Structure 1
């Protein structure tokens, strides 16, 4: 029977473990995506969102701020759910991997808002779905990343 090449414990290295650049890259991409999208979210909702007929139908500033704050709340509240999923179901690695894909699906949903079928479905509907998926993804990633980095280093 062939032996697996997977590590069961951290190697005793003097330098940086080989998995750390991937973890840093994933976290950097997630943060860049979150802050980049959040910075234009309120302006988009208050000035550029369309209705199902393709006619400009912006939200009021108060409504746009409300949805932005709900989104930020979800991103910082759902790590509780992410920790439960990681500890009870999938483990840190599979939670980060699967919910990073959910995060990407949320960004894809936001990008598809600009297509003709995105307008036909409704940009507000697509926006709500996309932001919810991003909240789930970010919530699953946040509690696992720092613990996963800690697991990369052995005892010294």
Structure 2
């Protein structure tokens, strides 16, 4: 569960800094109707207004690798509200193939190199601290040349 209390100076803080989820999927339920979740697309931030009873399904970096880039993880952040608190419940789902993070067979030439799951987790946490994306280091020359991902 995440709880963001009201903040009298929302222009001076951020709830969660911009990031991509490193795991497979994130399922998020808004407990209340306080906005705050935003997604970046084309260099602009767009709010995701809470819908009662709806789940937000967020693709993570591992799913991006498993699908060979067909599904892409979204950069997102959370802003606080000056007058209202915000509460969410989130569940993360992880995935790998036989202990390895790699594109599933049959999805064309691999755009990501395979890596053992434990090494992926270590690299992902290291990159999170550094403010980079570990999944980018897994790109093959095919992915970099195509500039698809």
TM-score, normalised via structure 2 length: 0.29
Higher relative contact order (CA 8 A, sep 6+): 1
**Larger proportion of helix:** 1
> Radius of gyration: which is bigger?
1
Q: Which has the higher strand share?
A: 2
TM (norm. structure 1) is 0.28
